[in-house]
Amino acid sequence: MLTRRIIPCLDVRDGRVVKGKKFTDIVDVDDPETLGAFYSEAGADELVFYDITASSEARKISLEFIEKVATRINIPFCVGGGVKTLEDFTEILRKGADKVSINSSAVKTPDLITEASLKFGAQCVVLSMDVKKTQEGQWRVFINGGRIDTGLDALEWAVKGVELGAGELVINSIDADGMKEGYDIPLLKAITDRVGVPVIASGGAGKMADFSEAVLKADVDGVLAASVFHYREIEISTLKADMKRKGIQVRI
């Protein structure tokens, strides 16, 4: 049976972990290495760090925290935000990250997915998608921190991203982000039905049942959350015990 992953997400701005709702109302939480070490010891399976304003500010990701995090944790972690070139991939992986996430740059330069996959292996290339439902009922891909509608159909882009070489997808629902009303199950199910790589659910977790629902109803490989972990509303050990009781295989 496939072991499902619990993944805290740490949004980084100016060297600090922050959190918002629907990509706005940003508040300070902690520093990335301290919080990363806490989650590593608390039983998280992986961590994801996003430099949330790198793309919108047209600058490279801040790399200072990556080395610090790598020395403090013993679990895999992924870094994204403002990654535009193979050199960015190289630098991030050399600093100690296990995976690199691309979003805006993948849309603008799809060949980067393939080039990175060929050079570093598909397992290192994570395609992150920020998705919002339009008034017409279509799931569309947004970039630059949810600021720009690309016009891309999210389901088609997910399939294309895997064809290009992405080894994992992180699907973040902008509509659900920070709202704590549950993951976007229909969106996640539509994508897991179409691709053969791991899919990570992101955006909307508010209670323990939400995590199990995403696994049982949408067959996601991992569940990612931020505020419920940052503010200790849900403890990872308690969450894993709850998921195990529901028949979900997790690493205890």
Tell me what pLDDT residue 196 has: 97
Q: What structural domains does the chain harbor?
A: 5-245 (3.20.20.70)
Question: For residue 215, which of 167, 224, 50, 206 has the smallest C-alpha distance?
Answer: 224
Active-site entry in 130, 177, 184, 210: 130
Tell me what pLDDT residue 177 has: 82
Residues 55 and 82 sit within 8 Å (Cβ to Cβ)? yes
pLDDT digits (tens, 9 = 90+) for 137-196: 999 999 987 889 999 999 999 999 999 999 999 999 998 887 889 999 999 999 999 999
Both tokens assigned to 48: 């994801």
Give the whole-angstrom CA distance, residue 116 versus residue 42.
32
pLDDT cut 90: percent of the chain above it: 73
Confirm whether 175 is a catalytic residue. Answer: no
Tell me what pLDDT residue 79 has: 95
Sequence-distant (6+) residues with CB within 8 A of 7 are 44, 45, 46, 47, 48, 200, 222, 223, 224, 225
Count Cα atoms within 13 angstroms, Cβ side, for 209: 2
Count Cα atoms within 13 angstroms, Cβ side, for 47: 31
pLDDT > 90? residue 52: no
Give the whole-angstrom CA distance, residue 20 versus residue 242.
27
Both tokens assigned to 22: 């629907």
pLDDT > 60? residue 57: no
Tell me what pLDDT residue 15 has: 74
Using the structure block, give the residue that is written with the tokens 């199990």. 212
Residues 236 and 42 sit within 8 Å (Cβ to Cβ)? yes
| 114 φ/ψ angles, rounded to the nearest 5 degrees | -65, -45
pTM score, two decimals? 0.91
Position 60 confidence tier, pLDDT thresholds 50, 70, 90? low
Q: How deeply is 57 buried, as exposed, middle or buried, from its count of CB atoms within 10 A (0-12, 13-18, 19+)?
A: middle
Tell me what pLDDT residue 203 has: 93
Count Cα atoms within 13 angstroms, Cβ side, for 103: 29
Alpha-helical (H) ranges within 85-207 are 86-95, 104-108, 111-120, 154-164, 185-192
User: Quick one: average pLDDT of 81-89?
Assistant: 92
Residue 212 CB coordination number (10 Å) = 20
